[in-house]
Structure 1
Amino acid sequence: MYSIIVVPPPTTEDQSTRTQLKLAPGERLTFGRSADCDVEIPHKGVSRRAGEITAQGAFWILSNLSGEQTYVVENPEGAGEHMKVGPGRLDAPVPFEFSRIVLPAAGDLLAVEVWAPRHDYLRSEGGLDGATTAPAFSVDRTKRYFAVLAALCEPRLRGAPHAPLPTVDQVVDRLRPNWPAASRTSVQWNIDYLAVKLRLKPGPDEADTGPRLNGKKESLVSLALRFDLVREDDLVVLAASPSGRAVR
């Protein structure tokens, strides 16, 4: 069964003609300006033999065969998440399910899309004896603190990875449809609570409460997006309820 789908840049203005190349685990393809490559990219700014993609089960690896250009592999669904593959780097593992290899080419940016739709999961009839593992981060999506966190993350989850975070007043306005009593004080209290709950800052009952946490909102959003504590689907908590009543 194939595990990787490669979608080369379009060669015409008709996007519907784009080719899809499917690779099974262990198979590989080369891309570059040369007609000898599996994927020919006829652009003068692309190296004759620019790179190589190899399928590895549920993920893939990228080799940058260029001697000068750094390639960027973007995660279109990752709120700005990306990785760099420097010139001459071989077998760099790419962990994204949906990826876009961005090739700088004489003033243009060309994109090769790579999809990794195969998902492998552990299948076990029974678990190990003993206590269960405590979750790394425990959040209740029905609580108001989660709605505050979702409102903070919303701009970057909406496709603007470098957007400035909303102010406390903007969060208050965003939450008012479901929480009419929301105020600067209550929102700030929830932000402080989240900083303790997500272990960015020690709790008030601990002997050492640690230094003052600067950039608290930025730290919360960075942590939440990095570990998928808030996903785009979670933004539904910000939608007004049909009855117009506040969600508790």
Structure 2
Amino acid sequence: MYSIIVVPPPTAEGEQPDARFRLAPGERLTFGRSAPDNDLVIAHNGVSRRAGEITAQGTFWILSNLSARHTYVVENPEGAGEHIKIAPGRLDAPVPFEFSRIVLPAAGDLLPIDVWAPRHDYLSVAGCDGDPTAPAFSMDRSKRYYAVLAALCEPRLRHDPHAPLPTVDQVVERLRPTWPAASRTAVQWNIDYLAVKLRLKPGPETAETGPRLNGKKESLVSLALRFDLVREDDLAVLGEPPGRKPR
């Protein structure tokens, strides 16, 4: 089964090549300027004759920088600036991004090589004996509190991962199509409930009040996005975004 797909950089005329390189686990792809020495030839005089090597490793891949002088940058196009640097001569550097872009500095140009790692392997629990492990965060996606959490996360999932969070009034307006009775009091109650449910503050059954939780919404959204409690597909609980007509 192929696990890595490599998309070559555009041609000198700016056209995107139709060729794709598909690598199975353990297979390697060399790239560089020299045609006899590489699987992927990049015809640019600023690229080393043997520039690098990509190796598929199941659900991820590793990169070797065979250049003697140039640092390569591997960007996460979905990560709002997230990237790693591969120093000259570095071998077998693991790349953790599902969608990646290798950026090669080449005599004033920046040449991109896209690498996709779409394969996901999961542990099968069929046939396991014993009691199941309790979930880390028990979330019911049909409840009002989950809709409130989704509305808080929506700007960072749909737009900018660093977007400011909506105010309580904005959350109320966002929930009105699916929850006509939404109010500031009800939304704030659900935010307080989520803070307890997600263990950001002690519950009412304890004698401890705990420290005051400043930035409660920020803490909730950070936790929810970090552990995938809300994904973009989950925003369906909110209905269509404002200004978008249902299909």
What range describes the TM-score normalised by the shorter chain of this pair? Answer: 0.7 to 0.9
Q: CA offsets per residue over residues 42-99 of structure 1, 9 Å max, x none?
A: 45665555433210122212234454535133053xx648341342443232343333
Asked if structure 2 preserves the Cα contact closer than 8 Å seen for 1:145 and 1:190, the reply is yes
Alignment of 1:1-248 (within 5 A): 1-11=1-11, 12-15=13-16, 17-33=17-33, 35=35, 36-42=37-43, 49-65=50-66, 67=69, 69=71, 71-74=73-76, 76=78, 80=80, 82-88=82-88, 89-103=90-104, 109-123=110-124, 126-129=127-130, 131-239=131-239
In structure 2, distance between residues paired with 1:81 and 1:201: 32
In structure 2, distance between residues paired with 1:84 and 1:27: 23
Q: Quick one: percent identity of the two aligned structures?
A: 75
Unaligned runs of 5+ in 2: 241-247
Asked if structure 1 preserves the Cα contact closer than 8 Å seen for 2:32 and 2:48, the reply is yes
Displacement of 1:222 after TM fit? 1.7
Asked if structure 1 preserves the Cα contact closer than 8 Å seen for 2:65 and 2:91, the reply is yes
In structure 2, distance between residues paired with 1:117 and 1:46: 28
In structure 2, distance between residues paired with 1:153 and 1:132: 30
RMSD in angstroms over aligned alpha carbons? 2.7
In structure 1, distance between residues paired with 2:148 and 2:3: 38
Give the ranges of 4+ consecutive aligned residues of structure 1 lying more than 6 Å apart after TM superposition.
none
Asked if structure 1 preserves the Cα contact closer than 8 Å seen for 2:74 and 2:100, the reply is no
Q: 1:238 to 1:102 in 2, by over 3 A?
A: farther
Query: TM-score by structure 2 length?
Result: 0.81
Displacement of 1:18 after TM fit? 3.4
Corresponding residue SS for 2:53: strand
Query: TM-score by structure 1 length?
Result: 0.80
In structure 2, distance between residues paired with 1:139 and 1:97: 26
Corresponding residue SS for 1:178: coil
In structure 2, distance between residues paired with 1:105 and 1:190: 53
Q: 1:51 to 1:184 in 2, by over 3 A?
A: farther
Unaligned runs of 5+ in 1: 241-248
In structure 2, distance between residues paired with 1:220 and 1:70: 36
Asked if structure 2 preserves the Cα contact closer than 8 Å seen for 1:74 and 1:101, the reply is no
In structure 2, distance between residues paired with 1:29 and 1:206: 59
In structure 1, distance between residues paired with 2:148 and 2:105: 39
In structure 2, distance between residues paired with 1:81 and 1:114: 17
In structure 2, distance between residues paired with 1:59 and 1:150: 30
In structure 2, distance between residues paired with 1:45 and 1:124: 51
In structure 2, distance between residues paired with 1:62 and 1:237: 40
In structure 2, distance between residues paired with 1:168 and 1:114: 40
Asked if structure 1 preserves the Cα contact closer than 8 Å seen for 2:60 and 2:98, the reply is yes
